[in-house]
Structure formats: C-alpha cells, structure tokens
Amino acid sequence: MEISFITPLFNCLPYTKLFLQSLAETAPALSHEVILVDDFSTDGTRAFLATLTDPPYRVILNPTNLGFAKSSNIGARQAKGRYLCFVNNDLVLKPGWFEPMYDLITSARDIGAVGNIQLEPGSGLVHHAGVFFDWQGRPLHAWRYRRRKPGGDYGEWNAITAACFLTDAKIFGDLGGFDESYLNGYEDIDLCVRLRQKGYRLLVSYRRPIEHFASTSPGRKKYDEQNRERFLAKWKEVTREWGKVEWPSQYVHRYARAWWKMVPWRMGQAICILAFRFLSRREF
C-alpha cells in the first residue's frame, strides 16, 4: 500500500459527502486506502459510514469524542500506507491535486511533509499557502485573503496546516504523531516544529489548488487560547527567532495594498526590523 488517506470526522455530514465525492473523483492511480475516523458524530454521519463497506474505505468509530489529534493518531496507527495523507472533511479536492504533492515528497529524503495551497470556496481568495510566525512566535497563514496566488511550483515554510498534509508514515511514527495534549488546534504546528528540529523541510505545492471551507466542525475554535498558550510555552524560543525573519516582510506583504489597515506601531516595528536587516548586511 502506497498511500493512506486519513480523515477525522465530527458531524458536518454534507461536507463529508462533498469531500468524499471529490476524493473519489481525483484519487491517484497509486494503491491507496481511505481511513475515516468518526469522532462520535450525532448528525447521521455514522449511518452514512455504515454504507461504505467496500475498499478503499475503512471506518473507525470512536466510543467518545476524542479530538483531532487523537483521532488522527488512531487512524495513523491502523494505516497500511507508506505515506500518510491527512485530509480534512471540509476540503473540495480538484483534479491533479495529489500528484504534485507526491512528486515533491518523493523527490528528496529530507522532505518531512508537503501541503497544498488552499482557496476559499466562492471567493477564490487564498486561505493557506504556508505558515509564518509573527514577532511573538505565533503562527499565521501566509498569503491569506490574497487573490493572486504565489508563483512557482512550491514554497518552503517552517510550518504547514494538517488540513492537507502528506508525510512519510515512518517519520510520523518516529516523532510520536500529533501531540494529543492539544485539542483541535496547534497540534499540526507543533508537529511541524518537531519536524524542523529534526532537519526536515516542509513544502507547500502551488500547482493544483484545492478548496477549503475551514473550521466547520462544531467546537473547532473552543480551545484556541489554551492551545496557543501550550504551544508558546513549549516553542516560543524557537518560533520567535523564526518570526524575527518572517514576520516583517510577511506583514508588509499582507497589507501592501491596504496600508490603512496596518496598525501604526506594528508598521513602524516592521519597518525598523526590515531596516536593521538591510543595514546589517551593508559594509561601511
């Protein structure tokens, strides 16, 4: 088995049906399975899953609601694929979306994970093209709300979202999977930091965008503050250093066409940091 697609589910049956239809229409020719981990849904999802009795589907029913990290790890432990592809049930996958990701992850041994550029349905605005860190070490989506997509075949980042996340099963297992102390947030960014600490590169494919409704599961944002505090307590010394490099240019880039939205003190800080970086490279 080459690929295990793993999708945790919690309610949102209409999104799940749309997602599975798009996955069936765009699945690669490679040998694969689709592991659906239901996190104690109550909206008819389990009755629908009972109809998926034939390969490539495999259904796992959690006895209680365990959250994204635990559900994903449960799916990963039962996966048979050489590569694991975590995909959210609120994605709409487009033709040719997977092959560029697969080509990237198999192109070099130091690539730990590959994501995909994601657009908002309807508007077509960029939702995710990678993750950068701000001056406090907090993660933010790159190119968010931009109509123009980044150029090139791919971008390299210090973090990517697990909404669409292709990784080697052995690497994922060696790192212990997602940290289950997070509840529905930051577990993917935590994993990315651990991958980077081990020297792995993280890429986002730009060739075949997909659509992402984003944060549709009930309670998705309920624990954001606790997750953020846990993440920063663990990784802020690392991510703040990344933020010193990434945040100034990303912040200016985000608001370059809407300068009036830039908070003055942040704008001044960004300019000062950019000036310092420029002058530090000059010879006097």
Output b/e per residue, 190-227; b: 16+ Cβ within 10 A: bbbbbbbeeebbbbbbbbbbbbbbbebbeebeebeeeb
* Complete domains list, the chain, with CATH: 3-236 (3.90.550.10)
User: Has residue 280 got a pLDDT over 60?
Assistant: no
Q: What is the pLDDT of residues 160-205, one digit of tens each?
A: 999 999 999 999 999 999 999 999 999 999 999 999 999 999 999 9
Q: What pLDDT score does 257 carry?
A: 56
Q: What is the pLDDT of residues 15-66, one digit of tens each?
A: 999 999 999 999 999 999 999 999 999 999 999 999 999 999 999 999 999 9
Peptide bond just before 218 cis, omega within 30 deg: no
Q: What pLDDT score does 249 carry?
A: 85
Three-state SS at 64: coil
**pLDDT-based confidence at residue 284 (cuts at 50, 70, 90):** very low
User: Has residue 222 got a pLDDT over 90?
Assistant: no
> Which residues are CB-contacts of 268 (< 8 A; sequence separation ≥ 6)?
none
Helices 187-197, 224-255: axis angle to 10 degrees equals: 70
Residue pair 53/82 in contact (Cβ under 8 Å)? The answer is no
Residues 163, 1: Cα–Cα separation, whole Å? 22
> What residue type is 150 in one-letter code?
P
User: Has residue 226 got a pLDDT over 50?
Assistant: yes
Mean pLDDT of 109-128: 96
